[in-house]
Amino acid sequence: MKEKVTILCCCGAGICTSNYLKEEIEDRIKQEGLKNVKIVLCRVSDVDEAISGADLLVTTVEMKAAYPVPMIRALGIMLDDKAAKKALDQIVNEVKKIMQE
Amino acid sequence: MSNEADTIFYDVVMLKNITTKEAAIHSLTNHLLEKGYVNEHYEHATIEREDAYPTGLPTKPIAIAVPHSKHENVIKQAVVLGISDHLIEFSEMGNSDSKLNVGILFLLALKGENGHINYLKNIVNYCKVEENITKLYGVKSAEEGLQIFVSEIVNAD
């Protein structure tokens, strides 16, 4: 069992789309009643450094490298409601999975 | 509206005869540079970032783009809306191979998280609605655009 899950949200500049993802994920995590989920923002150039503290990587950009944690491309959150739901479902499922590990 | 939001500068630029994303970003950043909101590196940094991580979004009936770059080059925060008479090619966010014809640009000169106002979210939520894009793209003047921008997009919540 993992007590705490850290999600790293990353985008090109680390201020815009990652911040958008963070709010949407936070809302959904709250709805699901999940506790102890922390969301950290970073820009894509800082992922190498920030990844060490993360359990899950959520990104809006194409990642050029592979990382030792699960990765979810979540650009859908910003597009239509259907794509947003799909991406958020995927994130929540992954978080639950990590918590059970 | 909070004091924090009051410190952000909003403006609208009607882009005429502009056909490339570089020229569009130049025109919008130059507007901010003259007013002292960004430094001289902002334009180059934003174009470079746009090439590496494009910001076009496939809204209907025409696409939008939200160019921005790192906070280091922002002196005072500003969001500028550009409405272009020509459609300009931008790559799609997260998918550089997909090209979009962009008519509306939001240049985000921000320093980081902005408390309770999430500019990008407000912009995206507004632009998801086709009638909104049609209305915004149809404005005849910067003043008319600014009115919609401030009252319906920024202060939507």
**CB within 8 Å: A13 and B69:** yes
Show residues of chain A in contact with B96, CB under 8 Å.
Answer: 62
Q: How far is A101 from chain B (nearest CA, A)?
A: 30
Residue carrying structure tokens 């850290």: A6
Report the predicted TM-score, pTM, of the whole model to 2 decimal places: 0.85
C-alpha distance from residue A66 to each of A8, A51, B93, B157 (Å): 14, 11, 20, 38
The predicted model gives A13-35 an average pLDDT of 87
Tokens representing residue B36 in the block = 């002292």
CATH topology of domain A5-100: Rossmann fold (3.40.50)
- For residues A39 and A53, the answer to whether their CB atoms sit within 8 Å is no
ipTM exceeding the 0.90 mark: no
Tokens representing residue B101 in the block = 């014809």
Q: Is the pLDDT of residue A66 over 70?
A: yes
Q: Is the pLDDT of residue A74 over 70?
A: yes
A14 touching B, CB under 8 A? yes
Could you tell me the residue ranges of all domains in chain B? 9-153
What pLDDT is recorded for position B153? 93
Task: Note the pLDDT tens digit of each residue in A33-46.
Answer: 999 999 998 888 88
Q: Is the pLDDT of residue A10 over 50?
A: yes
Show residues of chain A in contact with B77, CB under 8 Å.
Answer: none
Domain B9-153 CATH (choose: 3.30.565.10, 3.40.930.10, 3.40.80.10, 3.40.640.10): 3.40.930.10
Could you tell me the residue ranges of all domains in chain A? 5-100
- Which among B70, B142, B147, B145 is positioned nearest to B111, based on CA atoms? B70
What pLDDT is recorded for position B114? 58
Q: Which of A15, A44, A78 sits opposite B53 (nearest CB)?
A: A44
Show residues of chain A in contact with B130, CB under 8 Å.
Answer: none
- Which among A45, A55, A50, A56 is positioned nearest to A88, based on CA atoms? A56
Task: Note the pLDDT tens digit of each residue in B121-153.
Answer: 889 989 989 999 999 999 999 999 999 999 999
Tokens representing residue B20 in the block = 């490339």
A61 touching B, CB under 8 A? yes
Q: Which of B55, B95, B120 sits opposite A19 (nearest CB)?
A: B120
Q: Is the pLDDT of residue A29 over 60?
A: yes
Pairs across A and B, CB distance < 8 A: 60
What pLDDT is recorded for position A13? 75
pLDDT along chain B (157 residues), means of 10: 62 97 97 95 94 91 91 91 97 89 95 68 91 96 95 82
DSSP-derived secondary structure for chain A: --S-EEEEEEESSSSSHHHHHHHHHHHHHHHTT--SEEEEEEEGGGHHHHGGG-SEEEESS--SS--SS-EEE-GGGGS-HHHHHHHHHHHHHHHHHHHH-
**CB within 8 Å: A12 and B49:** yes
What pLDDT is recorded for position B5? 47
Q: How far is B107 from chain A (nearest CA, A)?
A: 11
**CB within 8 Å: B124 and A41:** no
Residue A96 amino acid letter: K
What are the strands of the beta sheet with A71-73, ordered from one edge? Answer: A37-43, A5-11, A56-59, A71-73
